[in-house]
Structure 1
Amino acid sequence: MDILKNAHRLPVLDWNLNFFGGHYQKVANDWQVPMDKHQAFELIFVIEGREGLSIEHESYTLNQGDFVLIPPGFRHTAHAIDHLTYFCFHFDLDEPNFIVQLIQNSPIYFPKGESLNRDICPILHELIALVSLSADYSFKDKMQIQIYLSQILMIFSELIPAKSAATNANQSRYAKIIAESLKSTLNDAILHPVDGDTEPISIADLMASIGISEGYGNRVFKDAYGFSPQKYLSELKLKWAKKMLLKPQFSVAEIAATLGYQNASHFSRQFKRWTKMSPKTYRQIVAKT
């Protein structure tokens, strides 16, 4: 006899929710953190003053009440700007689909007054209030930290579309590695060229360096993100192209070489496919705005 034949069940929860590195401190104006990256999320919240951050070559200035959420594997540096007191912590959850979906759908910067910031900041202040000078934490304190972190994750989950596609753990991991590798490889090639020109990025070579076939890598990337690695790389190049076209000291030929194109004509044709206008026209239009 099946005594649970008509039972309505809750899911089995068998995961690890990790919280570590939580601290706050007031620092001098010459305080800085060298380039670093982590295998977990990092949340940095400015309690007072201002903090400067560089995250994968994007710059942010955080004022009092602002926070950032730095995804796993993203390189970043930090420095004090003015009378900085900050709070930060790291967290991870071995629920790969949630992690990948959060990376895909969450912005990095959450300014004060923005809706999600308003929801999370009171919880951050509760966490800060738990910080003990003696570092002697009871079981109740630790459970309360886990409750606060769970509340924060519930709020972040609102960023994820309700019908997001599920991916298995291995696919999620490889998709994330491919995306991070493409971005860091392109950024390094542009910002630190070896011989003045940037070699075209080979997606096949990148897949091989990760230890997977190109076909498998393309498939898991598209399953996770909804588009191909080549399209993602093109979007990264377009973003860089637009940035460089805003700077008159770079000629179209120099931009083409920096982005790994054989010549300016090839780059111009590709840019026109992206934007429906030539690099020269784009530069002229943006210069007038």
Structure 2
Amino acid sequence: MDIRSQLREMPHHTMAHWLPIIDCNIKFYGAHSQQVPYGWAMPEESHPGFEMMLIIKGTQESVIHGYTYTVEAGSILLIPPGFKHTNQCVSPEGMMYFSAHFNVDDPVFTLKLMSHHSRIYEAGTTDNMLIRPVLENWMNMIRTSEAYTSTDKFIMQARMFELFALLSQAADREPQPTRTDASPNAPAPAAMHYAGAIAEAIKQAFHTQLRIKEGNVSTVKVEQIISSFGISPGYGLQIFRKVYGQSPRAYLSSLKLQEAKVLIEQPKLSLGEIAWKLGYTHLSHFSRQFKRWTGQSPLQYRNSVQDISNESGPAHQSSGTELE
């Protein structure tokens, strides 16, 4: 049994004192630094994850949901998922910046950050001085030729979780914004509440489905989850998309994809078992969906993972204790 299953099925001991189970997926991508001239500009865009920018030299003007922000050297800008924005260098001497994108499968944390909408951590403030070293550490790890090692990637992930903790603490210290301070396109507090509750309920229902050992195939019914909060499915779909930048079904698909990869990498599990655990009646249905997600069939993905493991050689094989 893999570590994730063991954690989920661990018996409850009334006399024991437990830390919470941590079961989330993160994505860190698009991290780069760049020197740009005066007048450089990015066309309007939005991203499925958060974008964080550190202005190292110069000044940037950002227009986010119709609001204009001036980001000076040393300051950090956080742009939430789904927020349309443009960035432009407005300093005659040009500008240097570092940018990174991230996503984390933690609805409560994501909602906490999004409840304050776009924000600037001004240079010299306490939050800035705590967060900036994490971004600078990533920037210092950028290479132009050598490949990144597993150790490099683990260090990057460690910094990622450090950043999450700092952003969460910073959000806890800030007062909740009033509606008059919020962007006119920002979701209402009630919408934020329902979207967060729906996301958490989908995640919990999916994890419950994974624990089922026998009987009929279990599926997560998004519409039923939304209706359980006393709102219509149509309204639930609308507010979820506005808050998270994707539909509830797309969110569920992202959970399935990450779990599918973990399960496929367990050679003792048949692909049929994996399809059943994920709520698919037939292996062929799961295979088609997995190929749409990744461009590979489950078997091709399993073989590619095995090939990488074999190429690493005995010196790099696991000692038998695995941590996610």
* Alpha-carbon distance in structure 2 between the residues aligned to 1:155 and 1:3: 32
Partner Cα distance (1:106, 1:155) in 2: 17
Question: Partner of 2:147 in structure 1?
Answer: 136
Where 1:90 maps in the other structure, the secondary structure is strand
String of CA shifts for 1:122-141, please: whole Å, max 9, x gaps: 22111111111125111111
Equivalent-residue separation in structure 1 for 2:55 and 2:164 (angstroms): 19
Q: Give yes or no for contact 2:79–2:118 (8 Å, CA) kept in 1.
A: no
Q: How does 1:187-226 map to 2 (within 5 A)?
A: 212-213=233-234
SS in 2 for 1:132: coil
Unaligned runs of at least 5 residues, structure 1? 175-210, 225-289
How far apart, CA to CA, are the structure 2 residues paired with 1:108 and 1:3? Answer: 42
Q: Secondary structure at the match of 1:64?
A: coil
Q: Which moved more, 1:55-64 or 1:84-93?
A: 55-64
Report the Cα distance in structure 2 between the residues aligned to 1:160 and 1:111, rounded to whole angstroms: 14
Q: Match of 2:70?
A: 61
The question of whether the paired residues in 2 share the 8 Å contact of 1:100 and 1:172 is answered with no
1:28 aligns with 2:29: no
1:37 aligns with 2:46: yes
CA distance in 1, matches of 2:237, 2:156: 38
Give unmatched runs, 5+ long, in structure 2.
Answer: 1-10, 177-191, 202-231, 244-324
User: Per-residue CA shift, 1:212-235, capped at 9, x if unaligned?
Assistant: 355x689x89xx9xxxxxxxxxxx
Q: Do 1:45 and 1:86's aligned partners in 2 also have CA atoms closer than 8 Å?
A: yes
Give a deviation string over 1:220-273, Cα, whole Å, max 9, x none.
Answer: 89xx9xxxxxxxxxxxxxxxxxxxxxxxxxxxxxxxxxxxxxxxxxxxxxxxxx
Distance 1:47 1:136 in 2: 25
User: Is residue 149 of structure 1 aligned with residue 170 of structure 2?
Assistant: no
Instruction: Give, in angstroms, the shift of residue 105 of structure 1.
Output: 3.8
Q: Which amino acid aligns with 1:154?
A: A
Specify which of 101, 105, 125 is matched with residue 90 of structure 1.
101
Contact 1:24 1:87 in 2 (8 A): yes
- Does structure 1 conserve the Cα–Cα contact (< 8 Å) formed by 2:75 and 2:128? yes
Cα distance in 1, alignment partners of residues 50 and 143 from structure 2? 23
- Once the two structures are aligned, what percentage of the paired residues are identical? 27
Match status 1:119 vs 2:126: no
Q: Which whole-Å CA distance do the structure 2 matches of 1:31 and 1:107 have between them?
A: 22
Q: Distance in 1 between matches of 2:146 and 2:37?
A: 23
Do 1:39 and 1:72's aligned partners in 2 also have CA atoms closer than 8 Å? yes
Q: Which residue of 2 aligns with 1:8?
A: 17
Alignment of 1:258-273 (within 5 A): none
Q: How many residues align?
A: 182
TM-score (norm 1): 0.56
- 2:212 is matched with none
The code of the aligned residue for 2:70 comes to T
Paired AA for residue 233 in structure 2: I
Residues 35-89 of structure 1: CA distance to partner in whole angstroms, max 9, x if unpaired? 0001100001101111111111111121110111000110000111221111000
Deviation at 1:111, TM superposition (A): 1.2
TM-score by length of 2: 0.50
- In structure 1, the residue corresponding to 2:39 is in which secondary structure? coil
- How far, CA to CA, are the matches of 1:14 and 1:56 in structure 2? 33
Q: Which residue of 1 aligns with 2:85?
A: 76
Q: Following the alignment from structure 2 to structure 1, what is the Cα–Cα distance between the partners of residues 55 and 129?
A: 14
Partner of 2:58: 49
Letter in 1 for 2:31: G
Q: CA deviation at 1:167?
A: 6.8
